[in-house]
Amino acid sequence: MFNPKSNRLFSALLFIYGAVTTHLRATLRNWKDIEWIFEKDGALRDIYVQNATISDWKKVVNLLNSDYKLTFGVCEDNLTNKIEFEYVKTMFADETGELERKFATIDLNGIIVKCYFFLEDQIEFDLWPEDIKTENELNFVLIFFVIIKFYIKERSNS
């Protein structure tokens, strides 16, 4: 069953984590207050980078390829351990709908995050909330997204 309240809260939690005071951050880290957000409800939690550019995609792909354990492809028997950026650009340009749509599966110490290449202007990730069972696992996921955020921002300034 889809629970839009928990999805909004998860998105807000990700947003707030990057720009809050130490006091509020300490409040958010009280696992007992937020663990219900990660209860199994049958819905994935989507995380987006809006208004992305092809340059942002290249930065994210380079980061994921260099620093994370991942697979890229569709079927179990046709996976690679690197995202093929040229293929990603081809998927973005495909107007026929006939091109095989590949995705990346990123393993964050047992927490699986998927990255989809649907839109050039939107970097999309998702994960199963029930994969996050502890505060440490939540922090690990939040750090991953903070790294993505700062990697895009930092590389844009250089």
Q: Which residues contact 9 (CB under 8 A, 6 or more apart)?
A: 34, 37
**So what's the pLDDT on residue 156?**
57
Radius of gyration of the chain (CA): 16
Is the pTM above the cut of 0.85? no
Query: For every one of its 158 residues, what pLDDT tens digit does the chain have, with 9 covering 90 and above?
Result: 333 344 444 554 555 444 434 444 554 557 888 888 888 999 999 999 999 999 999 999 999 999 999 999 997 778 999 999 999 999 999 999 899 999 999 999 899 999 999 999 999 999 999 999 988 898 889 899 989 988 888 655 65
